[in-house]
Amino acid sequence: MILSLFRTNQSYASLLLFGYALVLQLPVFLLGQAESEGERDTYYGGLVREAVGTSGWVSVLIPALLIAVAGIVANNYADRFRVSRKVTQFPGVFVVLLWALSPAFHAFDPLQFNHLFLLLAIGALGSTYKGKATEVARFNAGFWLGLASLLHPSYLIFIPAFVVGIGIFGTAKLRTVFQLIVGVLIAYFLAGTCAYLLDDLQSFYATQLAGLRFGEFEPAGRYALVGAGLLALPLLIVVLGGNRARLMLNIEGSKNVSFLYWVLLFALPVATCAVVLRVADAQVVVPPLGLLLGLWFTRQPRARAEFYHLLLFAAALVLTTVALID
């Protein structure tokens, strides 16, 4: 079965995630471009969308490649910080699979770069536990968050979760929190400087500040809503299994799992704070939720894990195919 390919501690197996993501994106390649919801991008989000385009094979290929890279980073994080007693490639598998559940997630969106940025920020802060150059690591975490918020301003809401994370891995003092905030500010300073050099500073401020507030709802297809709604099931599974997820882990692994739950908690308001609330914004929860769901699957018997994976895999393909045919 498919899941058996990833039940290994060999890191090269993560490369199979590219093929796995492309298979889940196959209906879009065969049946045409996934329908993109109404968009209101930030300044840099607009530049990214313009560069990639909204039609053609590049805009179909990029989402699958981005989520595969995010899955590889998720596997590296899980292995590096020992968040599971058994090393597998499951965290990355379920980051990719949860992304594929809703047809709305298959269309290119600048938000998809943020899956990678968020995981890099999580990994940077995780490295501060008994690590060296912790000041740099906290700065890096803030910088990655800053880059993510340039594409989707509500990612700034993750800052309190990372402040809690600083306390989990060490001591949340004014100095340590300031190191995180400086990283965010430097990202904005560099972005503003580039916009100024392009003579677009006013446009940068206008679109960036307009992106952080509650706004109107964007109509969505029923299959996109069903796919996004299915995320509630893995969310319930990882919430109910929270205590068990930390059993038998070393201190570092337990702290990292606790931090992931805080990130998941704040992912919910991040997904709902936008000028136009779209189903596509629900994919904000995919990195922490997919990572935690992958850890849950490592604790399941082989036959049960294969069966549950097959159900989710089939649901992702069927929903995407039916949405494109309908």
Among 43-52, 194-203, 274-283, 286-295, name the most confident range.
Answer: 286-295
Asked if residue 3 belongs to a domain, the reply is no
Quick one: pLDDT at residue 39? 61
Q: Are 146 and 187 a contacting pair, CB within 8 Å?
A: yes
Q: β-strand 216-217 against 276-277: which pairing, if any?
A: parallel
Quick one: pLDDT at residue 194? 93
Asked if residue 77 belongs to a domain, the reply is yes
Number of domains in the chain: 1
Mean pLDDT over residues 278-287, rounded? 92
Asked if residue 169 belongs to a domain, the reply is yes
Token reading at 35? 């329908």
Asked if residue 243 belongs to a domain, the reply is yes
Tell me: the pLDDT tens digits for 64-78? 999 999 999 999 999
Tell me: the pLDDT tens digits for 232-274? 999 999 998 877 777 778 888 999 999 999 999 999 999 887 6
Asked if residue 104 belongs to a domain, the reply is yes
217 phi and psi angles, rounded to 5 deg: -95, 140
Quick one: pLDDT at residue 38? 52
The DSSP output letter for 277 is E
Q: Could you give the CA distance from residue 241 to residue 235 in angstroms, rounded to a whole number?
A: 10
Asked if residue 39 belongs to a domain, the reply is yes
Compare 50 and 32 and report the one with higher pLDDT.
50
Mean pLDDT of the chain: 89
Asked if residue 6 belongs to a domain, the reply is no
Mean pLDDT over residues 227-234, rounded? 92
Asked if residue 4 belongs to a domain, the reply is no
Task: Give the side-chain half-sphere CA count within 13 A for 67.
Answer: 34
Return the H-helix or E-strand segment holding 276: strand 276-277
Mean pLDDT over residues 166-190, rounded? 94
Checking if the pLDDT of 148 tops 80, the result is yes
The secondary structure of 166-224, three-state, reads HHHHCCCCHHHHHHHHHHHHHHHHHHHHHHHHCCCHHHHHHHHHCCCCCCEECCCCHHH
| Domain around 87 | 13-325
Least confident piece of the model among 80-94, 169-183, 265-279, 298-312: 265-279
How far out from the chain centre does Cα 238 lie? 16
Query: What single letter denotes the amino acid at residue 194?
Result: C
* Residue 212: partners with Cβ closer than 8 Å, 6 or more residues away: 153, 154, 156, 273
Q: Are 270 and 97 a contacting pair, CB within 8 Å?
A: no
Mean pLDDT over residues 13-26, rounded? 93
